[in-house]
Structure 1
Amino acid sequence: MSVKHRYLWLLLAISLPAYANECPDAPFRSSFLQPLASDLERPAQEWQAKLAGIAATGIETLYLQWSVYGDLDLSQDTGIGFLTGWLDQAHSSGLSVHLGLVADADFGTRITEPADALSAYLSDLRARSLAVAGRLDARIGGHPAFAGWYLPEEIDDRSWADAWQVDMLREHLRAQVETLARLSPAKTVSISTYVSGARSADQFEDLWRALWAAAPHLHLLLQDGAGVGALPRAEFNEYAQGINQIAAGQDRYWGMIVELFSQESGPPLDDAPFSATAAPIERVRQQLDAVAALTPGPDETIAFSVPEYLLDPTRPGQDELLSAYRRLYCRL
């Protein structure tokens, strides 16, 4: 990073302009955002308005779900140019950002392969992600909006059933977290996990005890699954309580991802492309009540996602959800 860029970002850090949080009672302070290659073509003014709108709902932290996915690569020159300006805009709106690394669309299939193939796959994925992290850190590592890393590989309760699989996953996460900590010691590292009922709550708890033992500083974000309806709420609460108890007993950081959508098509429902509508506010309030009932509860409650389902007017049901959300949590 050039001295000039560090100086400009220092000025940004000490002169953050005020932004309008219209929803001081909002239940979320964090949200995911899924970038696409087409987003690089958006005019800067459009992104500025979008980020300001996100901040106005009470969001202070964005998890950019990936930096590399399909034909999007934010770690190369064109992507870095976009990301630099985008982080400036995020910062001016009062937002901090966690940068996702490499997301592989085939991850769910590849992790079911035999031992040798799985070991080679995880090693290659890890090398790719760490190379991306190195390029990003070299160019934007000192940006005041950049708060942490996010690992896009989502850990499920089905694929890591055998001890040898858990051992490989432990090593995969340990190596990534330790390398990222050396690269940027002040940044956090997060990953998400979800349950389908394939294993018991006790088995899921055992999995995360093992993984957290290998990477104790890893921030765990548990998807509540309400959008896909994988589990009845009472059954899911057993899994959430298990994670809550480990975190409380071992001083681990965890967050709950509250899904703001209702899936209409796509796996695991069917083989069609994924589609979803914005969730009804009554269901979202039930999800939030379930989070509030956990003691001591998560360190963070994250929406999935404010940009897509609360603010995108092309999403079916968005207007109803936003109107109800504003009545409950915002200044009218």
Structure 2
Amino acid sequence: MKQLYFWLLLAISLPAQASECTGAPFSASFLQPLTSDLERSADSWEATLQSIAGVGIDTLYLQWSVYGELDLSREPGISFLSIWLDQAHANGLRVNLGLVADADFGSRITDPADALAAYLAGLRERSLAAADRLKARLGDHPAFVGWYLSEEIDDRSWTHPWQVDLLREHLSSLTSLLAELSPEKPVSISTYVSGAQPPAQFERLWRALWSAAPQLHVLLQDGAGVGTVARPDFNEYALRVNNIAARTNRYWGIIVELFSQQSGPPLDDAPFSAQAAPINRMLQQLAAVEALDPGPNEVIAFSVPEYLLDPAKPGQAELLNEYRRRYCGP
């Protein structure tokens, strides 16, 4: 009760920061926490969060709480996260907390049936355990508004009916148990296409998954940063998801990628590297979103902290300057 009283006082005493970018095309952004982030000062984080809010973002998707050695659901990570959420709230930001991201997910989902079932059950158990810890400590925090499932659903791996059945069971069970834990908080997940499945098959996949987990918020990555699918082809996939959502009253969003990949899979075997996208490409991405009718419930950037605001990223200054010119006040 004392924690809840403190956060209520915080909500009253620390008003949200006003954004200069009232015409911003994005309402949300992803943020990928790193172990090194726990070492950053409160002042450094305050400046970052204020800058994020200043370009029109009001919602953050924390991509994971547990990844490798990073665990924000246990000490000292959870104390860091508590203070970080205070700062996010003070800057008018709402946060969806990611759960467990497993670096082996991409390889394990190609396992045979019994092994895949066991793997998904174990991943579910780990995510629910992390959610339990986060809920116990931060469940009443006003900045915490939803959960994010860190597993990304691709169009290559879920091709056989038995694989789809296992994924249906996984998502249905996980979303149901998270709804019992936090009834008022939605659960989101992202998906992407590589062209491995034709649009009609991808549509059938998500019809099946959404029927098993109807309350799931589905966020479709537009793939422009990697460029494995041509824009006209991607638009057909987006149209299929849009049509399912419109006909069945489902919630969905589009993730607009603000980067251009320079190296790393699937381009090559080098470490991943990327630069900020050119403004003209971003405008083309946004035009494709605007052409959808009725369109997504939200448009999410990947990611504002990394590619719009980080001066260490090549091309960032040009993208930010043009972004401010178009969407922000003088």
Name the TM-score, length of structure 2 as normaliser. Answer: 0.99
Q: 1:218 is matched by which residue type in structure 2?
A: L
Q: 1:39 is matched by which residue type in structure 2?
A: D
Q: 1:124: how far off?
A: 0.4
Q: Describe the SS at the equivalent of 2:48.
A: helix
Matched, 1:191 2:201: no
| In structure 2, distance between residues paired with 1:276 and 1:18 | 32
Matched, 1:65 2:30: no
Quick one: which of 49, 52, 55 aligns to 1:54?
Answer: 52
1:282 matched residue in structure 2: 280
| In structure 2, distance between residues paired with 1:214 and 1:13 | 37
1:253 matched residue in structure 2: 251
Contact 1:64 1:100 in 2 (8 A): yes
Quick one: which of 31, 34, 37 aligns to 2:32?
Answer: 34
Q: Describe the SS at the equivalent of 2:76.
A: helix
Q: 1:140 is matched by which residue type in structure 2?
A: L
| In structure 1, distance between residues paired with 2:10 and 2:225 | 38
Taking the TM superposition and a 5 Å limit, the aligned residue runs for 1:148-159 are 148-159=146-157
Q: 1:279 is matched by which residue type in structure 2?
A: A
Quick one: which of 113, 116, 136 aligns to 2:114?
Answer: 116
Contact 1:68 1:102 in 2 (8 A): yes
Q: 1:18: how far off?
A: 3.8
Contact 2:186 2:217 in 1 (8 A): yes
2:268 matched residue in structure 1: 270
Q: 1:273 is matched by which residue type in structure 2?
A: P
Q: Deviations for 1:237-294, whole angstroms, at most 9, x for unmatched residues?
A: 1100000000000000000000000000011001111000000000000000000000
Q: 1:16: how far off?
A: 4.0
1:182 matched residue in structure 2: 180
Q: Describe the SS at the equivalent of 1:168.
A: helix
Contact 1:88 1:145 in 2 (8 A): yes
1:85 matched residue in structure 2: 83
Quick one: which of 318, 322, 326 aligns to 1:328?
Answer: 326
5+ long unaligned stretches in structure 1:
none
Q: Describe the SS at the equivalent of 2:189.
A: strand
1:170 matched residue in structure 2: 168
Quick one: which of 142, 145, 155 aligns to 2:143?
Answer: 145
Q: 1:19: how far off?
A: 1.0
Q: 1:5: how far off?
A: 1.2
Contact 2:16 2:89 in 1 (8 A): no
| In structure 1, distance between residues paired with 2:307 and 2:167 | 32
Q: Deviations for 1:184-225, whole angstroms, at most 9, x for unmatched residues?
A: 011010000000000110000000000000000000000000
Q: 1:6: how far off?
A: 1.4
Name the TM-score, length of structure 1 as normaliser. Answer: 0.98
Q: 1:37 is matched by which residue type in structure 2?
A: T
Aligned residues: 330
| In structure 2, distance between residues paired with 1:234 and 1:97 | 32
Q: Deviations for 1:12-56, whole angstroms, at most 9, x for unmatched residues?
A: 233441413011111001000000000000000110111000000
2:212 matched residue in structure 1: 214
| In structure 2, distance between residues paired with 1:197 and 1:148 | 30
| In structure 1, distance between residues paired with 2:48 and 2:3 | 24
Q: Describe the SS at the equivalent of 1:77.
A: coil
Q: 1:179: how far off?
A: 0.3
1:8 matched residue in structure 2: 6
| In structure 1, distance between residues paired with 2:43 and 2:124 | 35
Contact 1:19 1:56 in 2 (8 A): yes
1:230 matched residue in structure 2: 228
Contact 1:225 1:231 in 2 (8 A): yes
Q: 1:213 is matched by which residue type in structure 2?
A: S
Q: Deviations for 1:269-327, whole angstroms, at most 9, x for unmatched residues?
A: 01111000000000000000000000000000000000000000000000010011011
| In structure 1, distance between residues paired with 2:210 and 2:3 | 37
Q: Deviations for 1:72-115, whole angstroms, at most 9, x for unmatched residues?
A: 00000201100000000000000000000000111100000111
| In structure 2, distance between residues paired with 1:313 and 1:9 | 33
| In structure 2, distance between residues paired with 1:179 and 1:18 | 32
Taking the TM superposition and a 5 Å limit, the aligned residue runs for 1:293-304 are 293-304=291-302
1:201 matched residue in structure 2: 199
